[in-house]
Structure 1
Amino acid sequence: MNHTPRTRNAVSCTLLVVTLVAAATACGGPDGHPLAAQPYDAADQITFNGSVDKGRADADKPLEVTAESGEGRITDVTAMDTEGRHLAGELTADGMRWHSTAPLAAGTRYTVAVSTEDSDGAPGRRTVSFETGTSKKLLKIAFGPQAGTYGVGQPVTAELSVPVTDPAARATIERGLKVRSTPAATGSWYWVDDKTLHYRPQEYWPAKATIEVRSNLTGIKLTDSLYGAPAKPLRLTTGDRIEAVTDAADHTMTVKRNGEVINTMPVTTGKPGFSTRNGVKVVLGKERYVRMRGESIGIAAGSADSYDLPVYFATRVTWSGEYVHAAPWSTGSQGSANVSHGCTGMSTSDAEWFFDTVREGDIVEVVGSDGDTMTPFDNGYGDWNLSWDKWQQGSALLNNTTDGARTVQAARLRPGV
Structure 2
Amino acid sequence: MGRFTRAGAMVGVLVLAASLTLTGCGGDRKQADFVGGPGAVADTTAAPTSGAPGPSGGPVASGAPAPTASAAPALRLTPANGATRRPISTEISAKAPSGGELGEVTLVAANGDKVPGRWRVDGSSWVPSEPLRYATRYTATVTGTGPDGAARRGTSTFTTMAKPGSLIGSGLYLADGRTYGVAMPVVAEFHPGIPAKDRAAVQRRMFVRTDPPQPGAWHWFSNGTQAYYRAPEYWRPGTTIDVRIALAGVPLSNGRHGNVDRTATVKIGRAFEMKVDNATKKMTVYEDGKVIRTLPVSLGKKSTPSSSGTMVVMEKKEHTTFDTRDEPDPENQYVTEIDFAQRLTWGGEYIHAAPWSEGQQGRRNVSHGCVNVSMAHGRWLFANTKVGDPVTVRGTERRLAHGNGWTAWNLSWAEFVKGSALPVPTGGAGPALR
Q: Are residue 393 (structure 1) and residue 421 (structure 2) matched?
A: no
Q: Is the 8 A contact 1:282 1:364 kept in 2?
A: yes
| Separation (CA, whole Å) in 2 of partners of 1:157 and 1:62 | 24
| Separation (CA, whole Å) in 2 of partners of 1:179 and 1:264 | 36
Deviation at 1:181, TM superposition (A): 1.3
| 1:337 alignment counterpart | 364
Query: Which residue of 295, 304, 320 maps to 1:290?
Result: 320
Q: Is the 8 A contact 1:289 1:313 kept in 2?
A: yes
The normalised TM-score by structure 2 is 0.65
| 2:379 alignment counterpart | 352
For 1:37, give the aligned amino acid. Answer: P
| 2:299 alignment counterpart | 269
| Separation (CA, whole Å) in 2 of partners of 1:341 and 1:48 | 65
Q: Is the 8 A contact 2:246 2:262 kept in 1?
A: no
The normalised TM-score by structure 1 is 0.67
| Separation (CA, whole Å) in 2 of partners of 1:184 and 1:338 | 43
Structure exhibiting the larger radius of gyration computed from Cα positions: 1
Q: SS of the counterpart of 2:243?
A: strand
| Separation (CA, whole Å) in 1 of partners of 2:95 and 2:240 | 47
| Separation (CA, whole Å) in 1 of partners of 2:215 and 2:377 | 36
Distance 1:125 1:224, change over 3 A: farther
Q: SS of the counterpart of 1:353?
A: helix
Q: Is the 8 A contact 1:48 1:63 kept in 2?
A: no
Query: Which residue of 100, 114, 117 maps to 1:84?
Result: 117
Q: Are residue 311 (structure 1) and residue 341 (structure 2) matched?
A: no
| Separation (CA, whole Å) in 2 of partners of 1:331 and 1:357 | 21
More helix per residue:
1
Deviation at 1:376, TM superposition (A): 2.2
C-alpha distance after superposition, 1:383-417 (max 9, x if no partner): 21122112111111128xxxxxxxxxxxxxxxxxx
Q: Is the 8 A contact 2:182 2:234 kept in 1?
A: yes
1:236-255 aligned within 5 A: 236-255=266-285
Deviation at 1:277, TM superposition (A): 0.7
Q: SS of the counterpart of 1:37?
A: coil
For 1:334, give the aligned amino acid. Answer: Q
Q: SS of the counterpart of 1:206?
A: coil
| 1:149 alignment counterpart | 179
Distance 1:297 1:201, change over 3 A: farther
| 2:400 alignment counterpart | 374
| Separation (CA, whole Å) in 2 of partners of 1:365 and 1:63 | 45
Q: Are residue 133 (structure 1) and residue 141 (structure 2) matched?
A: no
Report the count of equivalent residues.
Answer: 343
Unaligned runs of 5+ in 2: 1-53, 56-60, 108-114, 425-434
Identical counterparts, % of pairs:
32
Q: SS of the counterpart of 1:278?
A: strand
Query: Which residue of 181, 185, 193 maps to 2:214?
Result: 185
| Separation (CA, whole Å) in 1 of partners of 2:368 and 2:162 | 53
1:56-67 aligned within 5 A: 59=86
| Separation (CA, whole Å) in 1 of partners of 2:421 and 2:371 | 37
- Which stretch of the first structure deviates more once superposed, 123-132 or 381-390? 123-132
C-alpha distance after superposition, 1:337-375 (max 9, x if no partner): 1111111112110110011111111111111212x2112
Unaligned runs of 5+ in 1: 1-5, 8-27, 31-35, 68-72, 89-99, 400-417
Distance 1:215 1:38, change over 3 A: farther
| Separation (CA, whole Å) in 2 of partners of 1:135 and 1:223 | 18
| Separation (CA, whole Å) in 2 of partners of 1:263 and 1:247 | 14
Distance 1:64 1:315, change over 3 A: closer
Q: Is the 8 A contact 1:57 1:130 kept in 2?
A: no
| Separation (CA, whole Å) in 2 of partners of 1:62 and 1:307 | 54
| Separation (CA, whole Å) in 2 of partners of 1:204 and 1:253 | 20
More RCO (CA 8 Å, sep 6+) = 2
Q: Is the 8 A contact 1:207 1:239 kept in 2?
A: yes
Q: SS of the counterpart of 1:315?
A: strand
For 2:402, give the aligned amino acid. Answer: P
Deviation at 1:83, TM superposition (A): 4.3
Q: SS of the counterpart of 1:295?
A: coil
C-alpha distance after superposition, 1:225-279 (max 9, x if no partner): 6666661421111111111011112110011011111110011111111111100
RMSD: 4.5
